[in-house]
Amino acid sequence: MTDPRLPVPRESVAVAQPASRLRKVAILTLGYLFLAFGVVGIALPFLHGLLFLLIGLALLSREVAWAGRMRGWIAERFPRAHDVAVEAEFRAGRWLRRLRARWRRRARR
C-alpha cells in the first residue's frame, strides 16, 4: 500500500474533460429556467414547484457553487428527500445514457 503523504503520480489522476461552452450555457439556462418554474409553481396549483426547484438545483450544482451549497444544506436538513433526489438523478442519467446510445446507433445507419 502506498503512503498517503506521498504525492500522487500525475498519470494516475483522472483529469475531467472541460465542458464545452455550449453545454455549460445550456445547463445554466435550463437550471435557471427550472428554478423560475419552481418559484412560479409554488404559487400556482397545477405546477409542482418543489420538483422544479430540485431539478434546477441539481442542474446548477454542477456549474454554480451556491447551488451546490444549497443542495448540501438540503441533504443535511432533509436526508430522505435528498436520497430520493439522488436516486432520481441517477435514474435520469441512466435513461439519458441509453437515449444517447440509441441515437448514436441510429445516426450510424
Show me where the domains of the chain are located.
19-108
If you write DSSP's letter for every residue of 50-76 in order, what string do you get? HHHHHHHHHHHTTT-HHHHHHHHHHHH
pLDDT score of 32: 93
pTM: 0.64
60 Ramachandran zone, left/alpha/beta (phi>0; psi -120 to 50): alpha
Nearest partner of 71 among 53, 88, 87, judged by Cα: 53
**Average pLDDT score, the chain:** 80
Mean pLDDT value of segment 65-94: 86
pLDDT score of 44: 84
Query: Is the pLDDT score of 8 beyond 50?
Result: no
Query: Is the pLDDT score of 101 beyond 80?
Result: yes
Mean pLDDT value of segment 39-57: 84
Q: With bands split at pLDDT 50, 70 and 90, how would you rate the model's confidence at 82?
A: confident
